[in-house]
Amino acid sequence: MSDIAVSLKDLTLAYGDTVAVPDLNLDIHRGELIALLGPSGCGKTTTMRAIAGLMTPTAGQILIDNTDVTRVPPNKREVGLVFQSYALFPHLSGFENVAFGLRVRKTPEAEITRRVEAGLQLVGMAHLADRKPAELSGGQQQRLSLARSLVMKPKVLLLDEPLSNLDARLRLEMRTELQRLQRQTGITMVFVTHDQSEALALSDRIVLMKDGRIEQIGSPESLYNQPQSVFAADFVGYENIFAVLPSTTATPDRCTIKNPHGQLQLDYPVAADHIAWRPTGVVIGSGGHHGTVAAVAFAGQQREYVIDTDAGVIKADIDASVTPVAVGDTIRFDLPLSSARLITAQP
């Protein structure tokens, strides 16, 4: 039991009459780096704000280190939050930003100096301690904001879209940095993101949310390879998703799949409600289906094809070394069972 850092029990969160999160149950393990993943409006940020105490639940409990903190005000919860826009104090230097919380807690001056310097060191910002936030780059502000939370030794550190305001290169750097900080400090980290690649790369465990409910929880590998629902499959990149029509007794070795745009015939039976392929799982140049190339985009390693078919567009990513097919040409493609993900609705 003691390895649970945060426990949400039957948590209901509402804005007025609008319920954002109904009846959520979630255990976050100590020392874990966990992602709350989902599209905007799925309740992930609301859940994070509730853990921080910035939002009061309408029902349910929040436990931190096995203590009920549901009614504990945010300034007494010892929860850190790194804001999406960093929320540094513009009038204070880097050092004073990091020292802010310690000063509020009336920490002795010598200890403040020691802990702030250690904190700045930890995030590699010691040489910029005298700068005001406005004189720092986005990445540096991010580090400072991390240090400001970390020096307080929070029981949980919450991060709101930690990588979304950074450019591609910094994003990669910060991703590694966050994992290092997590290992080094052992602090439980919960981060909120709408970006599946960010969640997959960074976290030990992913909580995929939709409409305030948990759609799926699991390791990045399991979410990526075994999405349990159409929503999860779509979210992790299975862009070609079809419903499976029941096979008729006349043709037990084949089946029909459909989406809102039309139907396709498969030459093998499928025992599932839905079947989905990633663009990389679609084969072109062979197979029993025909389509017209609507668009081709070169993306380095591969070419991204958009193919018009009897069932709307199919997306296919083909190795760039394969000779490209011109837009407007008719091509053959295959939807093999080997690269398909079968999804059966949970009872």
Partner 1 sequence: MSQTWASRVILSLTLLFLIGPFFIIIFAGLSAGSTLSFPPDGLSLKWYLAVFSVESFRQSFMLSMLLAVFGTLTALLLGVPAAYAICRYKIPGAETIKLIVAAPIIVPGIIVGLALLRYLVVPLNFTVTLALFLAHTALVLPYAVRVVTATLENLRTDIEEAAILLGCTRLQAFTKAVLPNIKSGILAAFILGFVTSFNQVPVSLFLSGPGVRTLPIDMLAYMEITYDPSVAALSALLAFLSIAIVFIAEKTLGFSRYV
Residues binding partner 1 (CB under 8 A): 52-54, 74-77, 79-81, 83, 85, 87-91, 100-101, 104-105, 148-149, 152
Q: Measured between alpha carbons, how far is 338 from 182 in angstroms, rounded to an integer?
A: 38
Sequence-distant (≥ 6) Cβ neighbours of residue 195 within 8 angstroms: 161, 163, 164
Closest by CA position to 82, among listed 190, 177, 179: 190
Cβ 96 to partner 1 shortest distance, Å = 11
CA dihedral 125, 130, 131, 132 (to 10 degrees): 120
Q: Measured between alpha carbons, how far is 282 from 288 in angstroms, rounded to an integer?
A: 12
206's enclosing H/E stretch is: strand 205-210
Cβ 183 to partner 1 shortest distance, Å = 24
Instruction: Give 87 or 306: the residue with its C-beta nearer to partner 1.
Output: 87
Instruction: Give 104 or 295: the residue with its C-beta nearer to partner 1.
Output: 104
Cβ 148 to partner 1 shortest distance, Å = 7
Cβ 241 to partner 1 shortest distance, Å = 38
Cβ 45 to partner 1 shortest distance, Å = 12
Q: Measured between alpha carbons, how far is 290 from 307 in angstroms, rounded to an integer?
A: 9
Instruction: Give 7 or 149: the residue with its C-beta nearer to partner 1.
Output: 149
Q: What are the backbone dihedrals phi and psi of residue 235, each rounded to the nearest 5 degrees, phi first?
A: -65, -35
Instruction: Give 51 or 166: the residue with its C-beta nearer to partner 1.
Output: 51
Instruction: Give 105 or 169: the residue with its C-beta nearer to partner 1.
Output: 105
